[in-house]
Amino acid sequence: MTNVNAVDHPLIRHHVTRLRSVETKPEEFRTLVGRLAVLLAYEATQDLQLTSTEVETPLVTTSGHKLSERIGLVPILRAGLGMIDPVLNLLPSAEVWHLGLYRDESTAQPVEYYSKIPANQPVDVALVLDPMLATGGSAVAALTTLKNWGVPCVKLLSVIAAPEGIEFVKSEVPDAQIFVCAVDKKLNSQKFIVPGLGDAGDRIFNTRHE
């Protein structure tokens, strides 16, 4: 799958399995999402551009490198908030821009209710953060907003994805790079990922109601 990176690693397999479990409590779920977000971000940032610099160690002056691009982190509210702090720890100088999107349950289409994307001065690289890529509607809306802003390089980081969502993103934003921990089997008739992990937002923020 062009531009699709399913990150395969023993730690990812281990953490995803625990993330799926119905027995995993919200506090552990949040921790696991954070760990997986870091592993995804590590993979997604391997091509960031560097510039040479010099640094004073306690002993000598030596050569080194520093990031040379403006990087934007774009969590899709609300579940994407569970990924922002761990990734921001890796990229403390990154800018954070928020997009609020929810899925209309009757149409399965994304509805934007909040946007903090400026009108000019786009970042060089944008990482869209959303734990689940289901239908792809919200992801496409976010990526399209960023492309319209003028961002030349957009990447989507999701913990799990459905094949249908991946294909929709590829068809609508073909130059977007997708990084996922696991590609699941399918979407069910209610457009939930199977086997999935339930509603990531509800599990992160402990708002499930039986």
Give the tokens for residue 17. 């399995």
Considering 17, 53, 107, 207, which one is annotated as catalytic?
107
Can 199 be counted among the known catalytic residues?
A: yes
Can 203 be counted among the known catalytic residues?
A: no
Considering 20, 70, 78, 199, which one is annotated as catalytic?
199
Considering 18, 70, 124, 202, which one is annotated as catalytic?
202
Considering 18, 35, 78, 103, which one is annotated as catalytic?
103
Can 61 be counted among the known catalytic residues?
A: no
Can 17 be counted among the known catalytic residues?
A: no
Please give the positions annotated as active site. Answer: 103, 107, 199, 202
